[in-house]
Structure 1
Amino acid sequence: MLLLFSGNNTVIWSSSSSVSVGNTPVVAKLLDSGNLVVCYDSSTNEDFVWQSFDYPTDTLLAGMKLGKDLVTGVDRYLTSWKSMDDPSPGLYVSWMDTNGYPQAFQKRGSVLQLRFGPWTGVRFSGFPSKPNPIYTYDFVFNEKEVYSIFHLINNSIMSRVYLSPEGKEMRLNWIDPAQGWMPYLVTTVDMCAQYGLCGAYGICNINSSPACSCMEGFEPRFPVQWNAGNWSGGCQREKSLNCGNKDAFRKLSGVKFYHIEGVMEDGREIAVKRLSETSTQGLDEFMNEVRCIHRLQHRNLVKLLGFCAQKHEIMLIYEYMPNRSLDTFLFDETKGSMLDWTKRFHIINGIARGLLYLHQDSCLRIIHRDLKATNILLDNDMKPNNSVYILGIDWMI
């Protein structure tokens, strides 16, 4: 007998029952794609009552989405087995965050966190770029969902992505002569994918030994620790910055960096927002926004620390909010459980205080035009800070 349970362990469907949705009977089907679905008996499309593709374990098949449905809150991610003979959840998870970055990290204590680069329109930066005859993959990011997906070019080939108990993510193809799954691609752990490995103004290159070095014009902040292999202290300028005509920005090519994050020379973590290249707003509008935001000071508003407006480089520098935005908690089953009523009331109250200041108590009367969960940022203590957009400038976060 096949049983389907709800989250509270109640049987909502079984193969021996005649359960209906409305007046239409539902049945279970195993599709050619490998998707086990419960659907209407007469259904010929993807109008499923339930599908196993929404709840992957350690395997990703062609046509499965790895990512989040922003409407329903369904989060699809891979979870490794505890061991080869124990299917309970293991140490490793592979998922797609709400900014569209594929991630992999060690769950317990978040000891290891890796982030691959952004979607370039063809592939994720940091992923193999050479085309192959077996599969293609795509990336979707809109107001309803964010996910990556792969499709088989030749349906006669069986291929799957597998997350092993040891944390290795690999693509396996079925080989008939060997009657088994053989590795086609193995994603190795890139030590340079660890955030902050080389510290501020450090560059990591897995083809170098040691992997960390300082940018041109910089030297290790703590030479003894640096030479011992502890690079977290980062680098500092060899000469003090001279804000005259001799100093300018230097373009670095072939470098992948982490965006909504950085470190100042004094060790403070910051968040950087860069004006989108497609924005129609000019320098005058940008400077007006800087002046306005600088005059807004409230404990429930994100503080502006600085800005840059040199040629085509237009950026705002904000204080860093470690717990990121409210939506990462609201739409995540695990993190959502951390928001008990006391914390929720605390957040609601903080949001209201920030809005009251903007709309009534500040010297500038400002109507918050873009109030949503992604613009409510949370600090270490889960205190909410409204991220304010006054002129509706198009920011690339």
Structure 2
Amino acid sequence: MVQLLDTGNLVVLDHNGTNKNLIWQSFDYPCDTLLPGMRFGKNLVTGLQIFLKSWKSPDDPSIGMYTHRMFTDGYPQHFTCQGQTVLSRVGPWNGLGFSGFPTSTPNSIYSIQNDFNHNGLYNKFELRSSVLARIIVTWDGKTLILHWIERTKKWVVYEDIAVDICSQFARCGPYASCSINKHPPCSCMEGFEPINPKEWGESDWSSGCKHKKPLNCGDGFQKFTGIKVPDTQRSSYNYSMTLGECEMACKRNCLCTAYASLDIRNGGNGCLIWFHELIDIREYDTNQSLYIRMDASDLEAKGRVIIQSVSNEWKRIFIILLSISSVVFFLCALAYACKKKKKRHRMRGRGKWKHDLHISDRSMCLEQLDSIQHFSLRKVANATANFSTSHKIGEGGFGPVYKGVLEDGQEVAVKRLSETSQQGLEEFKNEVVCIAKLQHRNLVKLLGYCIRNSELILIYEYLANKSLDFFLFDETRCFMLDWPKRFQIIHGIARGILYLHQDSRLQIVHRDLKAGNILLDRDMNPKISDFGLARTFIGCDAIAKTKKVVGTYGYIPPEYAVHGHFSVKSDVFSFGVLMLEIISGKKNREFSHEDHSDNLLGHAWRLHNDNKSIELMSACLSITCIVPDVVRSIHVALLCVQNNAEDRPTMLSVFSMLVSESVLPEPKQPAFYTGERCKEIQPPLLSKQYMITNVYAR
């Protein structure tokens, strides 16, 4: 009897009375695709290996040259291979997921189940939600997790197992670690040195590193944390041993080079031991620890150095504090008094910081903030270790931003007005009042504020992934933003601006939309921040004029930069620039091209007119892009950056165009397009005030 199950498994059954015995099933012989419910690994009884094989080409389903399989020599792990050549490795199962592959940890969409027993060694792919997903090995050797998007009727890439420079197998050679946050990415581990320094100097790290001193059998072990464990093909393992027993087993065997826990849950269980050079190590944000055999004299010397260093440091500190404590205290008090006097004098002259001088102004400000939580300066200082530089995570026009932890354990972002800021009480009140009245998932959430003497402080929710520009313009981190994520970010920003322009109680123009003011939460959802320069419209007002032009060059529309006119169409222009930057991965102001001297807007306009818009797309998106969506997004962005404000669509129209498949109008010439590189706009009237934000990394 042959039956096709709802899972997609074709089975052959043998009827034996009322029983049905399985004779054969298609799930044991996959081609290039692993469906939910399928096992992946090896049957230890029959020797059957279940693995993925690529197609020969995109339209030829015959067996290609790439495979993704489980190697069962040593402790089982996954490899992507081209013939017999290993291209990349997914580290072994550690109880929570695969070592060096954090996306395999539990999530709301899918799970990877581990089933190792005497009958077989398997991993099983299971869905946790209604999302349709599959794992595939492409004809050109990529191992991808795909999701079905019902709106577009297409499969899109959710995850790519090998997405960065450290994914290449054994890139840095033995006893070296790879890190995407370092340049160059390869470095010898502590206690090791390059085997061939000349090759390392030429960026050829394949020879790897060696111990600085020859090993003896009586050596000890040094702990390394936060890494992907090495290749386990020549390792041995035991599920019942503790970590202490694992250490003793490695010490007794002079061939043992390192050991680690099999299962990192609950402090570590099981034992994994290596008997060869340690290859394919990379730094990763994980709790996995590796204990590497080192020369005993090195370990002793390191311990003595640490102890001696700590002892000497305490002696030196004690002598210094004992001898000059009174002098230091006097100087600090004197410096603080001078600083306060100078700061108050400067703020009075600027006419911005008046709550120290006029009680009525301060009372008026506090009345406006009644609905928002007030934090004491002591609580804010404690949360940020007294505004320690180690807690600083960024800086903007208002001042530095610190990461803090409140007494209840809540993480917060603390923005403190700096002494050199061109902003002051007006911008402080403006930001607090604006955000306090806004509630939207794509706007940053204000938790409270602090006013104390000369201190003006804002407390926000903490967003773990910093700002959009942190990923967008970095040649390594940009790979973490695939096209689905970027499209999601574009939609989120559009929803946030639409809320400001139309759906909030007050119509608000942000006036400083840019990549640095888009913060990302743990799931890469965008949140618009920095409302210090925002302005509100009341009633039928549609446009306003100011003598004080604020914002960031590259995002400011021409009518605002030249004449000081701003409206909701000013934000539409900034959003269009931001869209082009998200798609291209290039900054508008810093863009250059070998064939012409246009800025990013002009380059996009040229490509659109030549029907080559897709060439604007960042190379980081070549694998994951959906071409029609990319081209449509560029078209919408060009509509947003048209020279005349009245030609630009409203944010409601922009959002509708992004989520629909309607026919789009042709864009007119973008702003600042002259066929030559756009020069920075200079103020035509020297009497006007200009406050342009500099861009800082968060």
Shorter-chain TM-score: which interval? Answer: 0.5 to 0.7
Q: Which moved more, 1:91-100 or 1:195-204?
A: 195-204
Alignment of structure 1 residues 320-359 onto 2, 5 Å: none
Residues 89-124 of structure 1: CA distance to partner in whole angstroms, max 9, x if unpaired?
1121011122321221111xx333322212121211
Q: 1:90 aligned to 2:54?
A: no
Q: 1:143 aligned to 2:118?
A: yes
Distance 1:160 1:315 in 2: 31
Residues 319-376 of structure 1: CA distance to partner in whole angstroms, max 9, x if unpaired?
89xxxxxxxxxxxxxxxxxxxxxxxxxxxxxxxxxxxxxxxxxxxxxxxxxxxxxxxx
RMSD: 3.9
Tell me the CA shift for residue 53 of structure 1: 0.5
Alignment of structure 1 residues 111-260 onto 2, 5 Å: 111-129=85-103, 131-154=106-129, 156-236=130-210, 240=213, 248-258=220-230
Q: Which amino acid aligns with 2:158?
A: Y
Given the superposition, is the C-alpha separation of residues 222 and 45 from structure 1 closer, same or farther in structure 2, using an over 3 Å criterion?
Answer: farther
Residues 42-84 of structure 1: CA distance to partner in whole angstroms, max 9, x if unpaired?
8998732211101000010111111111112221100010111
Q: Which moved more, 1:49-58 or 1:193-202?
A: 193-202
Tell me the CA shift for residue 148 of structure 1: 0.7
Which residue of 1 is the match for residue 664 of structure 2?
none
Which residue of 2 is the match for residue 389 of structure 1?
none
Given the superposition, is the C-alpha separation of residues 193 and 277 from structure 1 closer, same or farther in structure 2, using an over 3 Å criterion?
Answer: farther
Q: 1:55 aligned to 2:19?
A: no
Distance 2:168 2:241 in 1: 28
Which residue of 2 is the match for residue 64 of structure 1?
38
Given the superposition, is the C-alpha separation of residues 50 and 255 from structure 1 closer, same or farther in structure 2, using an over 3 Å criterion?
Answer: same
Given the superposition, is the C-alpha separation of residues 281 and 127 from structure 1 closer, same or farther in structure 2, using an over 3 Å criterion?
Answer: closer
Partner of 1:225, secondary structure, is: helix
Retained in 2: the 8 A contact 1:93–1:106? yes
Retained in 2: the 8 A contact 1:100–1:141? no
Runs of 4+ in 1 over 4 A off after TM superposition: 41-46, 240-243, 271-276, 279-287, 305-310, 314-320
Retained in 2: the 8 A contact 1:136–1:151? yes
Distance 1:102 1:282 in 2: 24
Q: Which amino acid aligns with 2:226?
A: G
Distance 1:282 1:28 in 2: 50
Partner of 1:88, secondary structure, is: strand
Percent identity between matched residues is 40
Q: Which amino acid aligns with 1:185?
A: E
Tell me the CA shift for residue 241 of structure 1: 5.8
Given the superposition, is the C-alpha separation of residues 162 and 222 from structure 1 closer, same or farther in structure 2, using an over 3 Å criterion?
Answer: same
Give the one of 242, 251, 273 matched to 1:278. Answer: 242
Given the superposition, is the C-alpha separation of residues 225 and 142 from structure 1 closer, same or farther in structure 2, using an over 3 Å criterion?
Answer: same
Which residue of 2 is the match for residue 40 of structure 1?
14
Partner of 2:198, secondary structure, is: helix
Q: Which amino acid aligns with 1:278?
A: T
**Aligned pairs, how many?**
263
Give the one of 73, 76, 97 matched to 1:100. Answer: 76
Tell me the CA shift for residue 217 of structure 1: 3.9
Retained in 1: the 8 A contact 2:91–2:231? no
Structure 2 runs not aligned, ≥5 long:
262-270, 278-698
Retained in 2: the 8 A contact 1:192–1:205? yes
Which residue of 1 is the match for residue 439 of structure 2?
none
Distance 2:206 2:98 in 1: 26
Given the superposition, is the C-alpha separation of residues 189 and 183 from structure 1 closer, same or farther in structure 2, using an over 3 Å criterion?
Answer: closer
Q: Which has the higher contact order (CA 8 A, sep 6+)?
A: 1
Given the superposition, is the C-alpha separation of residues 319 and 92 from structure 1 closer, same or farther in structure 2, using an over 3 Å criterion?
Answer: closer
Given the superposition, is the C-alpha separation of residues 102 and 112 from structure 1 closer, same or farther in structure 2, using an over 3 Å criterion?
Answer: closer
Residues 285-313 of structure 1: CA distance to partner in whole angstroms, max 9, x if unpaired?
999x86xxxxxxxxxxxxxx646899x9x
Q: Which amino acid aligns with 2:242?
A: T
Which residue of 2 is the match for residue 329 of structure 1?
none
Partner of 1:252, secondary structure, is: strand
Partner of 1:251, secondary structure, is: strand
Partner of 2:200, secondary structure, is: helix
Partner of 1:249, secondary structure, is: strand
Q: Which amino acid aligns with 1:249?
A: F
Distance 1:143 1:231 in 2: 40
Retained in 2: the 8 A contact 1:307–1:315? no
Partner of 1:224, secondary structure, is: helix
Retained in 1: the 8 A contact 2:256–2:274? yes
Distance 1:285 1:158 in 2: 46
**Which structure has the highest strand share of the two?**
1
Retained in 2: the 8 A contact 1:308–1:315? no
Residues 210-233 of structure 1: CA distance to partner in whole angstroms, max 9, x if unpaired?
111122343323222111111123
Tell me the CA shift for residue 315 of structure 1: 10
Larger radius of gyration: 2
Distance 1:215 1:286 in 2: 20
Q: Which moved more, 1:159-168 or 1:51-60?
A: 159-168
Distance 2:106 2:249 in 1: 43
Distance 2:123 2:112 in 1: 7
Q: Which amino acid aligns with 2:132?
A: M
**Which structure has the highest helix share of the two?**
2
Retained in 2: the 8 A contact 1:103–1:113? yes
Which residue of 2 is the match for residue 28 of structure 1?
2
TM-score, normalised to structure 2's length?
0.33
Retained in 2: the 8 A contact 1:56–1:78? yes
